[in-house]
Amino acid sequence: MNKPIIELENISFSYPDSNIKILDKLNFKVFKNDKIGIIAPNGSGKTTLFYTIMGLCKPFSGNIKILGKLVKTEKDFSFVRSKIGLMFQDADDQLFSPTVLDDVAFGPLNLGYSNIDACDIAKKILYDLGLEEFENSITHRLSGGQKRLVAFASVLAMKPSILLLDEPTAGLDTNAKEKIEKILMNLDISYIVISHEFNFINKITNKTVSMENGKIFKDDEVHIHQHEHIHKLGKLPHKHV
C-alpha cells in the first residue's frame, strides 16, 4: 500500500497567549510523487501548517508522522529537518551567512559534506539558478528578489526528500519565476507549494488544496479556476485569490 510520507492527524494549534485555533483538528496526507499547491487567503494558517510539519510550532493535540515515523521530540524533528527542506516566506529568516556562497553551502556542510563538496554543490545550484555572479556578494545587500532566489538555492542544496515552499515566487520577475518553475518541473521529489499565483500553481503541481477555519480542503472540494469577469479598474493588472 502507498503510505503517506507526511501525515497530520487531528492537529490543533494556537499561538501562545491566544485561544484562537489556527489549526483545528486538521488532517492532511501527502504521498510520494505528490506535488501539492496550497492556495488560501492571508492569515488562514498556511505558514503555520509548514512550521508545524517542521516542528517549529508545537500542536497541543494530534499526531505528526513523517516518512512513516511518529515525530514528537526535538530529536525526532532534527531527523525531519534533515529530510524536509523549508523555504521560508521571508528570505531574511533563511539567510544569515556573510556571503551568498556561504549561505548556500551552509546546509550541505551541516549535513556532513566536506568544505570542497559543500562548495561544489552550492556553486552548481547557484549556476543552475543563474546566480553564479553573486557567489561572493554580501547576502543582506541583495535585492528582495535576489534574496528569494538565494533562499531557494540554499534549500535545494540540502537535497531534501520533500520540499515545502512558502510563496517562492512572491516579488519575482518573470525570468526568475521561470527559473523556479523549470527547476521544480524537473525535480523528482514531492513538494508542497504555498502561492497566491494561479498560473504558477497550475504549472508545477498535480493537486491543489485550500485552507479555511484551521482545516485543509481537498482537491475534490475546491475548484480553483480563472474566469472572465468585469469590474472597475479591471484593465489594470490585478489578482484574485
Ligand X SMILES: Nc1ncnc2c1ncn2[C@@H]1O[C@H](COP(=O)(O)OP(=O)(O)OP(=O)(O)O)[C@@H](O)[C@H]1O
Chain residues that interact with ligand X, rule: CB under 6 A: 15, 18, 22, 42-48, 89
| CB nearer to ligand X: pick between 52 and 108 | 52
Contacts of 123 (CB under 8 A, 6+ apart): 101, 132, 135
| CB nearer to Mg ion: pick between 37 and 108 | 37
CB of 52 to ligand X, least distance (A): 9
Q: Which whole-number Å values give the CA distances from 188 to 32, 86, 123, in the listed order? A: 10, 17, 21
Task: Write out the three cell numbers for 40.
Answer: 488560501
Q: Which does 45 bind (CB under 5 to 8 A by kind): Mg ion, ligand X, none?
A: ligand X
Stretch that binds Mg ion, among 27-35, 82-90, 96-104, 148-156 (CB under 5 A): 82-90
Stretch that binds Mg ion, among 53-61, 88-96, 141-149, 224-232 (CB under 5 A): 88-96
| CB nearer to Mg ion: pick between 46 and 148 | 46
Single out the residue of 6, 39, 47, 210 in contact with Mg ion (rule: CB under 5 A).
Answer: 47
Q: Which residues pair with 26 in a beta bridge?
A: 11
CB of 83 to Mg ion, least distance (A): 22
